[in-house]
Each structure stands twice: as structure tokens, then as C-alpha cells.
Structure 1
Amino acid sequence: MADDITPLASLSLTHVYYNPSDPLSLLSAYLALLPQALIIVYTTLLLSTREAEVALTFAGQLVCEALNFALKRLIKEERPRHILDSATKGYGMPSSHAQFVAFWAVTVGLFLLVRHRPGERRATREKGGIEGWMHGEWGVLERAAVSGCALGLAGAVAWSRIYLGYHTEKQVVVGWVAGVVIAIVWYVVTTVVREFGLLEWALELPVARWFRLRDLVVEEDLCQAGWEKWEGRREAAKRKKTT
């Protein structure tokens, strides 16, 4: 009877080896889950905002992963020996984690510092006879700070792969450089798509209209826009009660 039992396998998607007696090793194990968390964030933002920019960025991230898959099988460099002895499968050059987070961080920075062009708004304005309220757009310093935080977090993830012993320094550096290069190339590609009107054409297609895809986030602060609608409703309700 025991001979009929099928041996179980481990799903390596979130299976991370770490030293339980080392707090930094545990932190590194959690940092290793950032790519999976970002996939959830991408999907959530795409479904909730239907923004074309989110869709383009997510598509670029998938292209980055596909290229990493191809590079690993082209180079065929093994991981460090002690990790191989722990039954971890797959090649190590370049590091997929480093490439993933480098693409993400550079893309965030390029969007916030180059592509994002929020319109200048007045401090007050008329909305149906109601005086407007202060609107604070992110300035260059705020956007630079967020971009720096993304870059720092990505660097921590890349470092964690070396600390955990999943990759050599060279494998992580190559993965990081590949992610940066792909992010820059993808930014150029999406800029060309925008400049030549291809995105505008695609958003007019029936399937894009059916999914309610739009392209607002480049010039609008979507959180503030929703807040303004809410404040307008509250002010209107207050005025109605006092009349």
C-alpha cells in the first residue's frame, strides 16, 4: 500500500530557503516575495483603474520576464553549489528577481519624473456654484523621493538574493543591468506608441471601449479627482441642509 503513494513535490513559486536563526535571512526571504506582490498590485490596478499606462507597464514587465527566461536558457549558468544541493531548480544567470525589480523601479522613476505631467490647477475653483478646495499636486521633490524609495527597495531585493545564496554577485549585477536596459527600451517603445497616435487608435477599438480602457493617469491625479467628487457631494449636501 505504501508503495502506491505518489511522492509530493514543492511548488517553488514562493518556496524560499532561509536561515531561521538569522533575522536578516528572514527579512531577505520576505523581500524575495516582492515580485509576486507586484504582480498582484499590477492586476489590481489594471482591474480597478482600467488605465492604459498600467496595462503598458504590466506588458513590459511580462516581456522582461520572458527575456529573462530566454537568457537563462541561453547562458545556462548554474546557481551557487550549496543552493543546488538544497534541490533548487533552474539556472542562475541572470537573476530574475534583480531583473524584475530593476525594471519596475526604473519604470516607476521614468513615469514619475519624465512622463507624468499633471496639469496645473487653481487653488480654488467653481464647481456648480461651490467654492473649490486646495489641490496639492506632487512636486518634483515628492516624485523624486518616491522614485528613490522604489529604487532602494529594488536594491534591497537584489541584495537579498546574494545574502540568501541564491545567486552570485555577477548574476545579480547582470540581472539588474538587464532590467534597467529593458525598462529604458520599453519606455522608448511606449513613447513612440504614444507619439505616433497608436495608443489613441487602440483605445478607440471596440474591445478597448468594452473594457473601458482610458488614458488619464499621465495628466491627472486620479486619487485627487475622486476626492474632489466626494468633497463636492459633501458640500452640496451641507448646503441643502442649511437651505
Structure 2
Amino acid sequence: MEDPPLASLSLTHVHYNPADRISYLCAWLALVPQGLCVVYATLIWSNREIEIFLMFAGQMACEALNWVLKRYIKEDRPREMHGKGYGMPSSHAQFVSFFSVTLTLFLLFRHVPHPTETHTPFTFGGRFLLSLIAIACAGAVASSRIYLSYHTNKQVLVGCAAGAIFAFVWFGFTTYLRRAGWIEWALETWILRILRVRDLVVQEDLVDSGWARWEDRRKRQASFRVQGKKSK
């Protein structure tokens, strides 16, 4: 008996023109959502920040919304597309739009880091510039879907709009949870206490997280070495 033909894992199988460098770049841009999911998982595991939990939950809810919209609208992809499934709205565009807009809202309206003895956090201008970069990168990912003929202009624009609108809705919802005390209540539950979930990133710069403790330890170790040399 002959072996059955091999199949391609469609999750990361992206068609592009190997003779076109822009097409090759767009194929890599198509992997950005998967990369962001790895970033989410890494930050959640390493930092245990409730804000990152909330953002990831909103990201998954946005994906669920895209799944529903595609099966409700039932608009086909462009004819040049070799893949399967509906194309309205673009899931890539909706994913990166939600991420960039949510990150922008957090950096500009919720994140108020305080300077410490060892670190000066980004100014508002720096956070604004970072937000612009995030939005520009999202635009590049969304545009790549048109260039690769995976979606029409309209499908990408609707995806961007759906992601941005849902980002504002989710940000408003999480703002309500904070002001109503639900986040503080959740952080006191036994399961989040066991998982050591915390809420520091709103007022503490991630770059400075743990740095003061590290600097203090280095100073103590240096002091011990100096004292050891003097005792000899």
C-alpha cells in the first residue's frame, strides 16, 4: 500500500511570491499574531501582571468576535487566494488593530509609572511615540494581507475597524472593573494569590521591575567583598 500524501499545517503556511522581496517580507509579517501570542504567554508566566491577563483575555474575545463575524457575513476571499475560509473581516487586521489600540490606550491613559532612585520611566512623549510605532507596525501587518491577496481592501479595513472599536469597548470595560473594585477583589481571591498575580505595571515601569532589589544586592555583595579584603 502506498503512503498517503502529506498535508500542510495551515496555521503558519503562508503563500508568497519567492521572486518578490516585499511578498517575502509580508509572509513574515503574517506570523506577527502568533508571535504576539508567544509574547503574551511569556509575560503572563514571568510577570503575573493582572493587566496583561486582561489584555490577553480581550485579545481572545476579539478573536472570538472575528470568528462570529466571518460566519455571519460569509464573504469569500479574493479569487487569487489559494487558502480556505471566509475573508470578512480580516482576522490578522483585527488582531493587530486590537493589540495596537489597546496598548496605546494603556500607555497614554492608564500607565502612570513613577520614577525611582535607579530608573526614570518613559515620559508621556516617549509613550506616545511608542504608541505610534505600534500602530504603524499594525498597519504594516494589515497591508501585508492585501499584498499577498489574502484579503480585499474592504475586508482589511473592516478588520481594522472591528479591532479598534472592540479595543475601546474592552478598555472601557476593564476601566469599570478597576473603578468598581472588581480587580482588587479578584487579586484577593485564593486562586490569584496562589498564582501570585499582581497589579504593579500600572504604576511601575516593567524595565525597573526588580531592578532596585538587584542593585541593592550588588551593593551588599560589593560591601562584603571590601570588608573581606580589609579583614585580611
Conserved? CA contact 2:118–2:211, under 8 Å? no
Compute the displacement of 1:118 (Å). 1.1
The SS at the match of 2:210 is: helix
1:78 is aligned to 76
Shift of residue 119, structure 1, vs aligned partner: 2.4
Is 2:93 aligned against 1:98?
yes
2:147 counterpart (130, 154, 163): 163
Output one character per residue of 1:126-149: Cα deviation in whole Å (capped at 9) or x when no partner: xxxxxxx44211101111111111
Encode CA deviations 1:148-192: one digit per residue, 9 max, x unaligned. 111010000000000000000000000000000000000000000
Report the counterpart of residue 137 of structure 1 in structure 2.
121
* RMSD, aligned α-carbons: 1.1
Match of 1:209 in 2: 193
For residues 236 and 218 of structure 1, the distance between their equivalents in structure 2, rounded to whole angstroms, comes to 30
> Aligned residue for 2:130?
146
User: In the alignment, is residue 181 of structure 1 matched against residue 189 of structure 2?
Assistant: no
Shift of 1:223: 2.6
Residue 206 of structure 2 aligns with which residue? Answer: 222
Q: Secondary structure at the residue paired with 2:134?
A: helix
| Partner deviation per Cα, 1:39-95 (whole Å, 9 max, x = no partner) | 000001000001100000000000000000000000000000121xx2x11100000
Q: Which runs of 5+ in 1 are unaligned?
A: 122-132
Which of 96, 99, 112 is 1:117 aligned to? 112
Q: Tell me how far 1:196 sits from its aligned partner.
A: 0.3
- Scaled by the length of structure 1, the TM-score of the pair is 0.90
Q: Which runs of 4+ in 1 moved over 6 A?
A: none
Shift of 1:120: 4.5
Give the percent of matched residue pairs that are identical in Structure 1 and Structure 2: 56
Instruction: Decide whether the 8 Å contact of 2:112 with 2:203 is kept in 1.
Output: yes
Structure-1 residue corresponding to 2:230: none
User: Which string of whole-angstrom CA distances, capped at 9 and with x for unpartnered residues, describes residues 184-222 of structure 1?
Assistant: 000000000010000111111111111111111101123
Q: Distance in 1 between matches of 2:207 and 2:66?
A: 34
Q: Which amino acid aligns with 1:64?
A: C
TM-score by length of 2: 0.95
The whole-number CA distance in structure 1 between the counterparts of 2:118 and 2:187 is 32
Distance 2:79 2:197 in 1: 48
How big is each residue's C-alpha offset from its partner over 1:12-41, in whole Å with a ceiling of 9 and x where there is no partner? 110000000000000000000000000000
